[in-house]
Amino acid sequence: MASWINKRALCIILTLVLAAGAMALVGCSPTYKPAVFTEGGVSMVARTSGKYFQVYSNGSWQGHLIKGADIGASSPGHWFGDLATTGSTYSRWFGELAAMNANTILAYTLLKPVFYQALYNFNRSNPDRKLWLIQGIWPPDQEVLGNLYTDWYVQQYEQEMDLDIKALQGKVKIKERVGKAWGTYAVNVMPDVLGVTIGRELLNTEVKETNAANPTKTSFAGDVVKAVPGSNAIEVWCADMAQTLESKLRAGGWAAPVGYVSWPTLDPMVHTTEMTPGPGMSKAREVDDSEVLDPRHILPGSNAAAGIFGVFQIYPYYPEFMYRQPSYALYHDSQGTLRYGGYLQDFMKYIPGYPAVVGEFGLPTSVSSSHAQPEGLSQGALEEATQGRELARLYRAIVREGYAGGLVFEWADEWAKKNWVTAAYMIPFDRHVLWHNATDPEQCFGILAFDTKEQPYTKMKLIWMKADPTGKPGEVQAAYAAVNADFLYLTLNVVGASSLTSAGPSGMQLSMGISTLGKNHGTTGLPISGLPPMTSGVEFLLQLGGGGQSLLLSRPDYNRATSKFWADPATDPAFEHTTYITNRAQIDTATGHIFPVIYTDQSVLRYGVFSVKDPRYNSLGNWYVEPASSRVVIRLPWGLLNVTDPSSNRVIFDKSRTLPPGPSGMRNLTQDSLGTIKTPGFTFFATTTLGGQLADFAPRSSNGKSFGRAIGPFAWRGWDQPKYTERLKQSYVEMRALYGSFNSTQVPPARSERPQVVGSFPGSP
C-alpha cells in the first residue's frame, strides 16, 4: 500500500511542477507493467525491422520512429564525472520531455542510480507517454589516441559492460569510483531499453593506429554482429565489441538491439572538397576525412534476433564538406537549399538494411559562432526561436531520408563543455564550470537553459551620478553595474536615449571606455573629437547606436584574437575588432576551386531585449533602450572582456605571450597556458555624440571640463557555487509541435514527404 501511495504522490507532484505542456500528462498507473516478449528463455522489448525499430506493446510489435533528445551528465557548477543531477531533476525533465512529444532519450554513459529510478517511476506512471532509453556503454576515459585493441583497453571496456548491464537490470552495487557513476542499482529498466551502444565518436588518430597495429584483423564472424571480409581493424573492433555486449546481455536473460557510434569524419564517401591547399597536399594529411568506418562492413549475424543499428552524429556545419560539397547544394526542401539533407541522402546509400539513427543533431544558441554555414545553420549565434525552427528542418530531413529518427543534441545546456575557440581563455580551467561562457557554442546546445539571476535596476551598484543634471539631449546622468555567472550588466540613464536606435547620421551614439586591468594599462584617449583624456586607461571601447554597427572593440595590444594579452599605457585612440578564423581554407580537388578562410567577428553587438520575462525577448541581444525611462540596458558576455573566470575575478594578463598562428590559423594556446590576474575592478567612462558632435561625457570633474573619478572601481563578489534556475528555451515550443506532428508508429514516412531535388543529384526519387 505504501508503494502505491508513493507512486501516486510522484504522479501528482510531477503534474503540478511541469511546464504547461506537461500538465496534460494523465493516466498515472502505478500498477502498470511493461509488456515483455520472451522466446527461448530470452526476454526482449525492442527489435529492429528493416531500417526502423519496433517495440513490443499490447501483445504485438509496433513501429517506433525515434523522436528524442540526448541527456547530458553535468549541471552548472559540476563536471561530467560529478554526475550531480538529482532524481527530482530527472523526474521533472522526463515530464517536460514527454510533454515535448519525445519518445526516446539517449545517455552515452552510465548515470547515477537516481536516473534509472526516476525513469522507472516515470514510465510506470505514464505508460502512454513512455520514454525509451538508448544506453551507451562508454569506453575507458583515457584518451588512447592509439590502438583500441590493446589488452588493457579491451579488458577495462568489457568490465564496464558487465557493470552497466547489471546496473540496467538493477542487480549491482558499484563501489565509489572517480569520474564514473556508482551506487546501488535496484530497479530493472531493461523493459525500457530501446537499444544499447558501444563506442563513441572515434578520433581519426585512434582509427589510424588501430588499423596499423592490427593488419590481420580483416573480418569477424559473430553470430549477432559480424564484420565482412575486407573490413579494416576498427570495423572489426566495433563488431567484436558489439557482439561481446550482446553476449553479456543474453547471459542476463535479455536481448536488445546493439549499435555502434560513428560520425561524418569516418564516412566512406569521397569528399573532393576536404583538402587543405598547399605543399604536400594529400588525403592522408586531412584529419577530418582520412579514415573510414564503413557501415556496409558491419552486418547482423545469423542469430541477431533483436538486430543491430548505427548511431551517427551529424551536424550541418562540420566537417566543412557538409556544406562545401557542390552536389549537396542541389538538395531543396520547402524552405530552399538544405545541404544537410543532401549529405543525409548521400550517406543513406551506404547504410545496409538496418536502422541508422541520427544520435546528435543540434544548433547552439551561444552569442558567438565557431563554424559558419551558408544557410545560417551555424555552430552558434542562433536566437532561441530560430534554433527551434531550424532543428525542425533538420529533423524533417532526417525522417524524409529514411533514418530511424533522431535525437536532438541536447536536452540541457552544459557549462562543463568547451569549444576549440574559447577553451584556452577559460582560466583557471578547473573553475570554468562555475560560470557560463555565453560565447561558447558547446555550452549552449540545450533546449533547456540554466539562467542565473538578473539584477533589477534597484539593486544594481551605482557607478556614478551627475550632481546637477540639465536634461539636455545626450546627457549621461547615471550609470549602474551588476554581474551574474553569464554577463556583465550595465544600465545608463541618457536623456533622449531613444535616438540611439535612429538609422540616420544625425542619431545619437553612446561610447564607453572600459578599464579591466587598472589605471596604468590601456589608453586614455577615445576616437571622439573634443573629448578630454580619461583619468584611467581603458582596454575596450563600447560603441552603441549612431546609425551604424554596435561594437565592442579591443586595444591592439590586448586583442586575444591576435594573441596580444597585455595593454601598455597609451594616449592614442586606436581600437580594433576581435576577429577569429572559424572555417579553414580548402580546395575542391575536382574543380580546383579554393574555398577561402571564413572569419567571425566577435566585436559585433546585437540590439534586442534580453529580459526573459519580456514578450520581445531575444536571446542574442546585447543592448536595448527603454524609451519611457531613457535607460540604455547593456549586457556583455565575460569572454568578450577577456575575463577568464568571473567567479574569481580573473582577467588575462600576460606580456610574455605573442604566439604565431598555427596550421589552422588559430594560435597555439593550451589549457591554462596564459597568465591572469585578479582584476582591481572595472572602471567605466561614457560619452555621447549627436550627429557626430560631442554632446556629453561622464563622470565629470568638479569644473565640468574634464573627466572625473568614479565612485570607485566596480568590483564584485566572487562565488564557489553558481545559483541558477531552469528555463525552457523558446525552441521548446517548436520542438513540441515538431515531434507532435509525427506519429511514433508512422514508419516509413509517406513518399509524398520527400523533397524536391534540383538537378541530377545522386539518389533522387
User: What is the structure's pLDDT at 29?
Assistant: 43
**Is there a contact between 602 and 578 (Cβ–Cβ < 8 Å)?**
yes
User: What is the structure's pLDDT at 664?
Assistant: 43
- 319 upstream amide cis, omega within 30 of 0: yes
d(CA 709, CA 463): 10
SS3 736: helix
User: What is the structure's pLDDT at 11?
Assistant: 38
C-alpha cell, 20: 504547461
pLDDT tens, residue by residue, 253-301: 999 999 999 999 999 998 988 877 777 666 666 767 789 999 999 999 9
Domain 2-449+728-753 has what CATH class? alpha beta
- Has residue 660 got a pLDDT over 70? no
Q: Please state the rounded mean pLDDT for residues 341-359.
A: 97
User: What is the structure's pLDDT at 547?
Assistant: 79
d(CA 507, CA 624): 15
pLDDT tens, residue by residue, 118-151: 999 999 999 999 999 999 999 987 655 689 999 9
- Has residue 495 got a pLDDT over 60? yes
d(CA 248, CA 157): 12
Domain boundaries defined on the chain: 2-449+728-753, 456-698
- Has residue 421 got a pLDDT over 90? no
C-alpha cell, 385: 526561436
Q: Please state the rounded mean pLDDT for residues 690-700.
A: 94
**DSSP per-residue string spanning 385-432:** HHHHHHHHHHHHHHHHTT-SEEEES-SB--TT---TTTGGGSSSGGGG
Report the Cα–Cα distance between both ends of the chain, in Å, rounded: 59
**DSSP per-residue string spanning 130-169:** --EEEEEEPPPSS---S-TT-HHHHHHHHHHHHHHHHHHT
Half-sphere exposure of 606 (CA within 13 A, CB side): 17
Q: What is the mean pLDDT of the chain?
A: 89
- 661 upstream amide cis, omega within 30 of 0: no
d(CA 536, CA 518): 7
User: What is the structure's pLDDT at 457?
Assistant: 65
- Has residue 7 got a pLDDT over 60? no
**Is there a contact between 367 and 637 (Cβ–Cβ < 8 Å)?**
yes
SS3 104: strand
User: What is the structure's pLDDT at 282?
Assistant: 65
C-alpha cell, 406: 533522431
Residues 6+ apart with CB under 8 A from 32: 124, 125, 127
| Distance of alpha carbon 441 from the chain centroid | 5
**DSSP per-residue string spanning 12-60:** HHHHHHS-GGGGG-----TT-----EEETTEEESEEEETTEEEEEETTE
Task: Tell which wins on pLDDT, 669 or 109.
Answer: 109
pLDDT tens, residue by residue, 54-73: 999 989 999 999 999 999 87
**Is there a contact between 616 and 566 (Cβ–Cβ < 8 Å)?**
no
Task: Tell which wins on pLDDT, 46 or 459.
Answer: 46
Cut 0.95: pTM above it: no
Beta bridge partners of 538: 523
d(CA 159, CA 59): 35
Neighbours of 717 (CB within 10 A): 7
The conformation of residue 712, written as its DSSP 8-state character, comes to S
**Is there a contact between 357 and 402 (Cβ–Cβ < 8 Å)?**
no
| Banded model confidence at residue 750, pLDDT cuts 50, 70, 90 | very low
Determine how β-strand 579-583 pairs with β-strand 132-137: unpaired
User: What is the structure's pLDDT at 573?
Assistant: 97
C-alpha cell, 213: 597495429
C-alpha cell, 314: 551529424
Residue whose C-alpha cell is 536488445: 256
**Is there a contact between 34 and 189 (Cβ–Cβ < 8 Å)?**
no
Q: Please state the rounded mean pLDDT for residues 314-333.
A: 95
Report the range of poorest mean pLDDT among 12-26, 278-292, 465-479.
12-26
User: What is the structure's pLDDT at 9?
Assistant: 39
d(CA 363, CA 368): 12
- Helices and strands of the chain, counted as H and E runs: 10, 40
Q: Which of 644, 688, 423 is nearest to 531 (CA)?
A: 688
Sign of CA dihedral 152, 154, 156, 158: negative
User: What is the structure's pLDDT at 405?
Assistant: 97
- Has residue 634 got a pLDDT over 50? yes
| Banded model confidence at residue 316, pLDDT cuts 50, 70, 90 | very high
pLDDT tens, residue by residue, 561-609: 988 999 999 999 999 999 988 998 888 988 999 999 999 999 999 999 9
**Is there a contact between 232 and 20 (Cβ–Cβ < 8 Å)?**
no
- Has residue 408 got a pLDDT over 50? yes
User: What is the structure's pLDDT at 31?
Assistant: 62
Q: Please state the rounded mean pLDDT for residues 11-36.
A: 48
- Has residue 493 got a pLDDT over 90? yes
SS3 648: helix
Q: Which of 481, 527, 434 is nearest to 682 (CA)?
A: 481
Report the range of poorest mean pLDDT among 266-270, 281-285, 472-476, 723-727.
281-285
d(CA 111, CA 588): 44
Neighbours of 760 (CB within 10 A): 8
| Distance of alpha carbon 382 from the chain centroid | 11
**DSSP per-residue string spanning 236-264:** HHHHHHHHHHHHHHHHTTB---EEEEE-G
Q: What does the CA dihedral 31, 35, 41, 42 come to, rounded to 10 degrees?
A: -120
